[in-house]
């Protein structure tokens, strides 16, 4: 969708589909390509699906599209380009209205697109809330005021979250008058590496590098770990704030290899495949896409007891949990796993098994369809009418 234009949606809201007719779903997202694409493919076996996604988010995962019925790719402008943002938002509205869905499913929302959501007011809206509030120290959130993000949350008929922690935050903030549907992130199955491919023991930190990720606490634990596991190496890969302040924390910078900036899917898979374990030293979190990536490769994790992390990390089974902001506890947990090959292998096997059940695509798609059906019923219930 290189050129997009359009106006308000003028189609009446469809009634609940008659028995036997699949739901028509417009799945709209500005991020999260790796989880949205396989979700769309899984939903396509149960509904007629239109996927609307930025080209940069779609292209790396086109192989996962499967039988998706309609795909609309667009080039996402920068936030500081209001004219282009307006054109893209209106084009998405036009594409949705032309598809005439029974329900619209929006991932998180978007600073500019939220301002145009009123044009879809006649259609049931499901919003997946990835983050109920901005993360501590995440500078990108400064460009997206929380009240604007709340527009999509308040407009939704049904919310989906990926963690009970996020659902509780939404209730605490009075952004929902019901219980959100808690459904795991969707990930393609594929990779099944258990244990590293030779080489020294390797600890991987992967993802955005912002203060809430607690990388400074991990780096402070490095000397403690090296004293117990002399041949250990650390890999830090991701993008975010400048890395210089973190390098200054290291007495021996050669112990840690930094790969800053965008990490391709191919390179990321190599990093996870060769890691001995994955560490999440976060001081704040909602949910995480790093844990399923680790589990997908059969890697145990060491994570902190914040946000939704304890919901997906079974301490002693798929990894170890430690208190946030405690380099000593991090060092103890990481060292224990690196020094016990049998325990690390056992947890890696359990991690992969957890991935295959908890992150099962068919179960995720079924639960998402349940959320769609609830959204279709919601306006009728508010009007005091029984669904047709």
327-349: b (≥16 Cβ within 10 Å) or e: bebbbbbbbebbeeeeebeebbe
Give whole-number Cα distances, 341 to 32, 55, 194, in Å.
34, 42, 12
Average pLDDT over residues 28-33: 93
| 214 and 331 both lie in a single domain | yes
pLDDT value of position 191:
64
Average pLDDT over residues 246-257: 88
Q: Which domain holds residue 264?
A: 202-358
387 found inside a domain: no
| Beta partners for residue 137, in sequence order | none
Instruction: List the Cα angle 277/266/301 in 5-degree steps.
Output: 15
Distance from C-alpha of 191 to C-alpha of 269, rounded to nearest angstrom: 8
Does the structure show a pLDDT above 90 at 277? yes
| 153 and 247 both lie in a single domain | no
17 found inside a domain: no
Q: Can you give the length of the chain in residues?
A: 388
pLDDT in tens, 299-346: 999 999 999 999 999 999 999 999 999 999 999 999 999 999 999 999
pLDDT band (50, 70, 90) for residue 138: low
Distance from C-alpha of 169 to C-alpha of 148, rounded to nearest angstrom: 17
Does the structure show a pLDDT above 60 at 263? yes
| 327 and 368 both lie in a single domain | no
Higher pLDDT, 5 or 305: 305
Tokens of 37: 């694409």
176 found inside a domain: yes
Answer whether 316's CB lies under 8 Å from 195's CB: no
76 found inside a domain: yes
For 369, other C-beta atoms within 10 Å of its C-beta total 18
Number of domains present in the structure of the chain: 2
Higher pLDDT, 310 or 145: 310
Tokens of 43: 């939903």
pLDDT value of position 159:
95
pLDDT value of position 11:
43
Instruction: Supply the mean pLDDT for the chain.
Output: 88
Does the structure show a pLDDT above 70 at 2? no
pLDDT value of position 351:
97
pLDDT band (50, 70, 90) for residue 140: low
CATH for 38: 3.40.50.2000
Quote the pTM value.
0.88
| 177 and 222 both lie in a single domain | no
Does the structure show a pLDDT above 50 at 12? no
pLDDT in tens, 214-250: 999 999 999 999 999 999 999 999 998 889 989 988 8
| 242 and 280 both lie in a single domain | yes
pLDDT band (50, 70, 90) for residue 16: very low
């Amino acid at each position: 969708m290189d050129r997009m234009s359009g106006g308000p949606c003028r189609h009446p809201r469809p009634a609940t589909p008659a028995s036997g007719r699949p739901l028509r779903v417009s799945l709209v997202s500005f991020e999260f390509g790796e989880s949205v694409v396989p979700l769309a493919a899984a939903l396509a076996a149960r509904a007629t699906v239109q996927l609307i996604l930025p080209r940069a988010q779609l292209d790396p995962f086109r192989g996962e599209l499967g039988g998706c019925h309609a795909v609309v790719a667009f080039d996402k402008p920068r936030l500081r380009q209001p004219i282009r943002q307006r054109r893209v938002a209106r084009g998405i509205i036009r594409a949705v209205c032309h598809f005439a869905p029974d329900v619209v499913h929006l991932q998180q929302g978007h600073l500019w697109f939220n301002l145009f959501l009123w044009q879809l007011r006649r259609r049931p809206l499901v919003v997946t809330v990835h983050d109920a509030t901005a993360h501590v120290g995440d500078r990108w959130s400064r460009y997206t005021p929380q009240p604007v993000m709340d527009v999509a949350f308040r407009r939704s008929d049904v919310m989906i979250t990926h963690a009970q922690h996020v659902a509780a935050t939404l209730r605490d903030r009075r952004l929902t008058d019901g219980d959100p549907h808690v459904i795991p992130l969707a990930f393609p199955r594929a990779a099944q590496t258990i244990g590293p491919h030779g080489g020294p023991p390797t600890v991987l930190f992967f993802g955005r590098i912002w203060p809430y990720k607690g990388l400074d606490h991990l780096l402070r634990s490095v000397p403690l770990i090296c004293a117990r596991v002399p041949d250990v190496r650390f890999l830090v890969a991701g993008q975010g704030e400048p890395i210089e302040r973190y390098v200054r924390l290291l007495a021996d910078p050669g112990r840690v290899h930094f790969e800053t900036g965008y990490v391709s899917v191919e390179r990321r898979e190599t990093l996870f495949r060769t890691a001995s374990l994955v560490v999440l030293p976060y001081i704040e979190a909602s949910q995480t896409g790093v844990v399923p990536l680790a589990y997908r490769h059969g890697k145990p994790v060491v994570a902190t007891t914040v946000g939704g992390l304890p919901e997906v990390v079974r301490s002693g089974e798929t990894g170890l949990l430690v208190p946030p902001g405690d380099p000593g506890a991090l060092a103890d947990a990481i060292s224990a796993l690196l020094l016990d090959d049998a325990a690390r292998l056992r947890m890696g096997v359990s991690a992969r098994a957890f991935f295959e059940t908890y992150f099962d695509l068919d179960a995720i798609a079924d639960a998402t369809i349940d959320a769609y059906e609830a959204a279709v019923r919601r306006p009728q219930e508010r009007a005091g009418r029984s669904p047709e």
